[in-house]
Each structure stands twice: as structure tokens, then as C-alpha cells.
Amino acid sequence: MNRLSTTICVILVLGLASLMAILNLATDAGSALHVPTYAVSLVGKYLCYAILALALDLVWGYAGILSLGHAAFFALGGYAMGMYLMRQIGTRGVYGNAILPDFMVFLNYKDLPWYWHGFDNPAFALLMAVLVPGLLALVFGWLAFRSRVSGVYLSIITQALTYALLLAFFRNDMGFGGNNGMTDFKDMFGLPLQADATRAGLLVASAVMLCACLLVARFVVTSRFGKVLIAVRDTEARTRFLGYRPESYKLFVFVLSAIMAGIGGVLYVPQVGIINPGEFAPAGSIEAVIWVAVGGRGTLVGAILGAVLVNAGKTYLTGAFPELWLFALGFLFILVTLLLPKGVLGLLQRARS
Amino acid sequence: MKSVRRLLLALAIGLLIVPAASRADDAPDPYSGLASQSFEDIAQAITTLAASGNPQAAPTIAALQNETLFVTPDQALLIKTDDGYTNARTGEKVADVVEDDLANVRVNNAVRRAIEAASGALDLVSPDPATRLRAAAQVFTSRDPTSLPLLGAALAKETNAQVRTALLQAQAAAQLASNAGSEADQLSAVATLLARGDIEAKSLLGSLHDNPQAVLAKATAAIASIERMERLWSLAQGLFYGLSLGSVLLLAAAGLAITFGVMGVINMAHGEMVMLGAYTTYVVQSAIAAAAPGLMGFSLMFAVPAAFLVSGLIGVLIERTLIRFLYGRPLETLLATWGLSLVLQQAVRTIFGSSNRDVTTPGWMSGSDAVMGLTITYNRLYIIAFAVVVIGLLMAVLRYTALGLRMRAVTQNRRMASAMGIRTPWIDALTFGLGSGVAGMAGVALSQIDNVSPNLGQSYIIDSFMVVVFGGVGNLWGTVVSALTLGIVNKFLEPFAGAVLGKIVVLVALILFIQRKPRGMFPLKGRAVEQ
């Protein structure tokens, strides 16, 4: 069943993304089959959220770590990408400074801060986009799991973590653009960001990365390692008495998950064209949890399904009935936890059997 | 203009002091000067009059300023009042005045300047202590050495202790600034300024350079001593701000200490209970404004119980319809109550609109007072007091009432409590209602210092959880200590790190602290902890 759903998911994601990309590029704007570019980017954005949801399901569904700050890793990846894109603007910025991004000129920076060096190199930026979230998760997780902080306490301190980062990135002196963040990107890897082909390429890249993450996550959870992880989730004390070290298992999966979230952020930023501290808002991380809950916690595929469904609903409702969206989201939280503990996927499974 | 005034003042003082001894006999009568045709004589008469200490001087000069001073053909001076004329010299009423014969006392710019200067000098000897105080403060800032003789005269007959101190300080300032008087006088002037001990005294002492060496040395010592006092006061001020922030945190977290701390329910909608309390205040005030505007000053007295009832009842409702299905599933509770918080926020936004609502602060709560070197704002002071009362009541309820006993029994051992005949579901609902009601009361207090908007609760939820976790779950005293500690630490970090960075430092420190002591400062001991 699980293998089947994974296969179906990979085929669907890759197939639909490629189809959208082809229909966007190969047909004319007037054609009935044409997919507009905004839709391409919108679906690309959903797929990035799906990567975040997948990363969250890996820790929540399989290790019992309810992280209320996972969007922080996503945003950190996004900021690394944003820094690369900012450097690529070069002299095309408003102030025409070849080295300093516009906001730095505006804030009277004389030199590039040390931590901005190297971000003009795409390989370095991509490395940082996975390294920084990974390292943060390593340090945070090492501290937390070693001292056996778990359950609700862990959730609250992950929330405090993303809140602290939110406040930090709002500061102008941090050198990340303050509350305006970074935007106005021109091109990546030498390709113009506004071009249809780049957009379609990003969609396909997001689909491929999502499938790769799904396969990696599935490999992890179905391995011997994954079995121990599930044991840790269900009865941590008993697993410890059997001679395993739960903290190592949790730490590994937490870091892996943070890296995946970072990758999601990397793909997200060029598609939405902006990154700002709002991405660190605790509310965003909690919203990601509901995607997983809606799809079905601990199923991986469900997380992807949930992320796409909830976000599609959000796009529709915020456009058609803006005042209803928070009611809908709120009731979604309540109803899913009360009535659908296994999510939509659990409902489908029950319907089949 | 200023120098002219000063000159005239000097003239006034000269005239006041030099002939003071023999004034009674041979001084020219100022009243005849006023009746003169020459502007010069008039101006001089004004200065003499001001210096004379005559009780009729003030009304006469005021009349001159208002152009209600008249001269009769036989050179008598009359002041026109609402009901006739009075004699300027004696203040007695004058009957049968022939208005056609009267002429205004003539005024030109020189005379006006004399009037202005004279009224400054008059203020120092004015019968009203507040006026004298103001005049003394003015001399203290101007440090005008020409006022020294006048100050001496004023001091000689001053009886009000407060005004006397002000006059002495003014005298000290003028003396030191102009390097006037003997060394002994100057030394005692430094002592006077040291006793005043504020920033103005310090800057005055710091600006001295021509004075005798001994005076300068003493001034330097005085500055050091003032600075020491300043540091002490700013420490005390920081402590006050910290206490006030701490009691805000405490109020916000008090309800959570019940629902999360005692019951173990992760109520992410706790902030919204606070927000509902703030909106209840708004509704209560609107109702009072419409029905009985006279009671506006007491509106908060009505709002507190109303907010307790509104938030408490909604809390009971939430417990019955949502939370009771989720006991023992803390993470699910967290998600469901988060959803609830979104619904409540949007509901309030739909009903009241998304803009901030105006909540009136009663007169007795606004304003501030300087106590020694401290600035005490009343609303902060009342919030500290309110926090003390709320926590005291909460502890009393838990400790001394039958309901509190049952609550503690149920949270400590549910099955045993049930076996003893306690209706545990009912107690659960009431406990949750109590926590929510306390949050509502906190909302009344927060409506006085924060914007009443649908997002009000959001800004307190993370802080509240941190307070409860830091203090140790299930321990009200821990919550109190933790809220005050966080408040004070936050305020003391602010000057060094800025408000935002200070907050980040506190958050990171808390995260690290929880790693060291996952169960807070004052953890509960025993087996129940592991569950």
C-alpha cells in the first residue's frame, strides 16, 4: 500500500509538473490548453510547501517531534538563496552598486558584511542553504534531545526559536534587509527569472526535488533505522532500555528534515520572488503542521497531499472570500484533530477496506 | 531685548536694595511718578513700586499692564474694576468719579519693558507661594547674578519651606555661576546644589571654572556623588520598569499557569481569552458611555468582573465542546486550540473590525508622579497592584476554597478524586473556566497599555508559555518568580542591547535554560511528573 502510494505520488507529481511546463511553453496564450505562467509559479510554490510538509512529517510522523518552528529552516534556506539572487542583481539595482545590494546602500553600509562573501557563487550559496539549517538543527537538536526535552516542551522551544529568529531578521543591523527582506531579483544561474522557460524549469526542478526528498525519506523510514525511530516515537523509554540511544536517532532525522526544509526554501524564493522575515512567523510553522495533519501524519505522501490541498484551498478562499479563510483554517485544525486523526489518506484507506 | 530686560531688572533691584534701609522716608513716591507725563518717570516709578514690597504694587502694575490705570486731574491714581474705581495707593473704593476727567497712564515700549521686568521681580515676593516657586525656578535656570540682592530680600521674609529651598537653590546657582560671594558662601552653595542633586545641578556644577580652588574641588566631589545617586536611581527606575513588565507578563501568564500548569492543557487560544477580556472592556465602556457617562471613572471596576465572566464562560464552553475530547493528547490539543484561536480572532475581526478599538483610561489611572529620583506612571503602578491582587485571589481560591481543593485533587490523582465522589468532568470545566477568566481579567489590564486589536493575544502567547515553562509547570509561585525575573532581566538588557535584541537574548537564554532544566526553575517532584 505504502509503496504503491509513493509510486503513484512520484508519477503524479513528475507527470503533472512536466505537463504544466510543456503546456505553458509549447502552446500560445490564446489556446484552450495554455497554462498561464502565474499558475506554473503557483503550483511550483505548492510543491515547495510540500517539501516543507514532507520534512515536518519525517520528524513529527516518525520521531514524534512536533516542531513548531520548521518554517525557520525553510526560511533560512530561502535567505541563502535570496542572498545569491541579490548578489546577481549587480549594477542593475536602483543604486547601481556592483557589490552592495540596494538595501545596504540605503542603510549606509560601506563594505559587504563578512557573512555575505561567497554568495555570488551559486555552488557556495546552495551549500550554505543546506548547511546553515542543518547546523542549526544539529546544535539545537543536540542540546534538546541530549537533555531529553520532549513533547510539548520541545514544541514550545522550537516555537521560541523561530520567534527569536523572526525578531532577529526584522532588525536592519542584521544585514538581511530588515523587515523588507530581499526582492527584485533579476536572474539565477544566468537565466532571467521572469522568463517563462525559467519558471517552467523551476516548477520541474521543484517536482524533481520533492520526489527525491520523498524517496530519501521513504528509504529512511523503511530502513532498520526507521523501525528504531518509530519505536522511539511510540515508547522512548523502552527503546532506551533495549540499548538504543534515542537521542542519536532523533538528532539524525531532525537534521535531515531541516536540510530538506532548507531545500524547499531554496526553490521557493525564486518562484515567489521575495523573502522576508514574515517566513519565520510562528503562525507559518503551525500552518505547516496542519498540512501534515490534513494529509495524514506519518504517511509522507499524505504530507504532500495535505500541503497541496490546503494551499490550493487557501489560494481560492483568500481570493474569493478573504474574511472566511481564517475561519476555514481554524475549523480545519479543530475538525481534523477531532474527527480525522489519520488525515485524508487515512480516510481513503478506510474507504478502501 | 533680553539684555534690556536684565538691565531694567538690575535697576529694579538696585532701587529695591540700595535705598531699602531708608526707603520709608526719602524715597521718591512712586505713585506721583506714575502720574507723571514723562515716560522715563513712569518707567522708573514702576521699578520703584515693584521693589517697594507695597501690597498695592501688584494690582497697580497689573492694572497698568491691562490699561485700566487712570490719572485724575488732581494726580490721584485710580484702578478701574468691574464695579467702579479703586484708589491705586490704598485699594479703597472711590465713589463719584467723573469719567470724562480721567486719563490713561501713558505706556510706551520702554514702560512695557519696565512692567515686564517688574512683574518678574514681583513674582519673587508675590503672596502666592506657587508664583514664588515658579519665579525661583526661573532664576535657577537663568543664574542671573543681578537677582542675587533680590533673592536675599525675598529669602529674608520667606516662610514657606519649599519656596525657601527653591530660593536658596536659585541663590546658590546665581552665586556659583557668577563667582559671587565669599568662598564660604560658595562652598555652602555647592552643598545646596548637591542636596538638590538633579541633572541641572550637575550640569551647573560641571560648568564652573573661575571659582576658588576649594569650591571647584568640592564641586567635582559633588558631581561624583550626584552621579552615584543617579546610577542608584536609574537602577531603581529599571527595577520599577522591570517589575511593571514582569507584572504584565504575570497577568498574561496567570491564566495559563492554571490551564497549562495545573491541568496540563496546551491552550494556544489563551491569548485570545486575554483579547476577549480587552474587548469586553471596550464593550463595557461603550455601554457606560451610552447609558451612564457619569460612571466612566469606574468603568474598569465593571469591566473586570465582566471580562472574568465572558472569558470564563467561553472557557467552560471550549472545555466542554473541544478540549475534553483531547485529554491525554497534548499535541492534538495544541493544534485544535490553535485553530480555535484563529476562529476567535477572525470572529472578533468580523464583529468589531480589524482596526484598533479605543479604550479610555480613567483619569485616576493616567499621569505620573516623580518620587525622589523615580518617575512612577500611574497606570503601570496600578497594573502591578492589579497583578498582586489577581495572583493573591487565585492562590486563595486554590488554597482555601472547596472548589480549589477539588481542583487540586483532580489534577493530582483523577481516579482517586473520582472515587471520592468528585465529579471530575465538572471540575475540569470549572478549572479551565477559572484559567480563562483570569486571562480575561488580564485583558482588562492590557487594554490600558496595549492596542485593543484582534491580534492582541498573539503577541503574548509565546511569552506566556515561556513564563510558565521557565517557572516550572504546576507551580504558581514559580510563575510569579519567573514572570518578574523575565521582566526585570528584559528591562535591564534593553539599555545595552536595545529592546529587540534584548528580547532575542532572553529567548535564547530561555531555550538554553530549558535544556539544562527541562522542568523549569521549580519543578514538581514525584512520579506524576513523568506522565
Whether the predicted pLDDT of B16 surpasses 70: no
pLDDT of B273 > 50? The answer is yes
DSSP structure class, residue B357: B
Q: What is the pLDDT of residue A49?
A: 94
The pLDDT value given to residue B261: 72
Tell me: pLDDT of A260 over 80. yes
Angle between helices B183-196 and B199-206 (to 10 degrees): 150
Rounded to the nearest angstrom, the minimum Cα separation between A339 and chain B is: 10
What secondary structure letter does DSSP report for B413?
-
When pLDDT is cut at 50, 70 and 90, the band that residue B381 belongs to is confident
Q: What is the pLDDT of residues B77-102, one digit of tens each?
A: 888 877 778 887 777 787 777 777 78
Average of pLDDT values for A46-53? 94
pLDDT (tens digit per residue) in B324-364: 888 878 778 888 888 999 999 999 998 988 888 888 777 77
For residue B437 the three cell numbers come to 477568566
For residue B128, which amino acid is it?
D
- Measured between CA atoms, the residue of chain B closest to residue A60 is B331
Q: Of B85, B87, B105, B91, which Cα lies nearest the Cα of B34?
A: B105
B78 beta partners: B70, B87
The rounded percent of chain A whose pLDDT value lies above 90 is 31
* pLDDT confidence bin for B530, thresholds 50/70/90: very low
Highest mean pLDDT among A236-245, B178-187, B499-508: A236-245
Chain B neighbors of A152, CB-CB under 8 A: 266, 330-331, 334
Mean pLDDT of chain B: 80
Q: What is the dihedral of CA B336, B339, B340, B346, to 10 degrees?
A: 180
pLDDT tens for residues B460-474?
Answer: 888 888 888 888 777
Q: What is the mean pLDDT of residues B434-460?
A: 87
Each residue's pLDDT tens digit, A65-93: 889 989 999 999 999 999 999 888 877 87
Q: Residue B9 — very low, low, confident or very high, per pLDDT cuts 50/70/90? A: low
Count structural domains, chain A: 1
Asked if B193 and B164 count as a contact pair (C-beta separation under 8 A), the reply is: no
Q: Which of these, B161, B174, B175, lies nearest to B133 by C-alpha position?
A: B161
Query: Which one of A56, A162, A337, A340 makes the best mutation probe of the B interface by having the most chain B beta carbons within 10 Å?
Result: A337
Quick one: closest CA in A to B531, which residue?
Answer: A151
- What's the per-residue H, E or C state across B100-149? HHCEECCCCHHHHHHHHHHHHHHHHCCCCHHHHHHHHHHHHHHCCHHHHH
Q: What is the ipTM of this complex?
A: 0.84
Sequence-separated (6 or more) residues with CB below 8 Å from residue A278: A181, A284
- Exposed/middle/buried for residue A227 (C-beta within 10 Å: 0-12, 13-18, 19+): exposed
Select from B459, B515, B529, B530 the residue whose CB has the most chain A CBs within 10 Å, as the one to mutate to test that interface: B515
pTM, full prediction: 0.75
Q: What integer pLDDT is reported at residue B2 of this predicted model?
A: 53
> Looking up cell 527584485, which residue turns up?
A184
- Give the domain range for residue A278: 2-352
Beta carbons of A290 and B511 less than 8 Å apart: no
CA B479, CA B499: separation in Å to the nearest integer?
Answer: 23
For helices A246-272 and A122-146, the axis angle rounded to 10 degrees is: 140
The full 3-state SS of chain A, as one line of letters, equals CHHHHHHHHHHHHHHHHHHHHHHHHHCCCCCCCCCCHHHHHHHHHHHHHHHHHHHHHHHHHHHCCCCCCHHHHHHHHHHHHHHHHHHHHHHHCCCCCCCCCHHHHHCCCCCCCHHHCCCCCHHHHHHHHHHHHHHHHHHHHHHHHHCCCCHHHHHHHHHHHHHHHHHHHHCHHHCCCHHHCEECCCEECCEECCCHHHHHHHHHHHHHHHHHHHHHHHHHHHCHHHHHHHHHHHCHHHHHHCCCCHHHHHHHHHHHHHHHHHHHHHHHHHHHCEECHHHHCHHHHHHHHHHHHHHCCCCCHHHHHHHHHHHHHHHHHHHHCHHHHHHHHHHHHHHHHHHCCCHHHHHHHHHHC
| Residues with Cβ within 8 Å of residue B131, at least 6 apart in sequence | B123
- Please report which confidence band the pLDDT of residue B26 belongs to, taking 50, 70 and 90 as the band edges: very low
Q: Hey, what domains does chain B have and what are their CATH numbers?
A: 2-205 (no CATH), 233-525 (1.10.3470)
Range of B52-61, B159-168, B243-252 with top mean pLDDT: B243-252
CA distance B233 to B237: 6
Distance of CA B135 to CAs B100, B122, B155, Å?
A: 39, 9, 13
Chain B partners within 8 Å of A323 (Cβ)? 346, 349-350
pLDDT class of B225 with cuts at 50, 70, 90:
confident
- Could B515 and A147 be called an inter-chain contact, meaning their C-beta atoms sit closer than 8 Å? yes
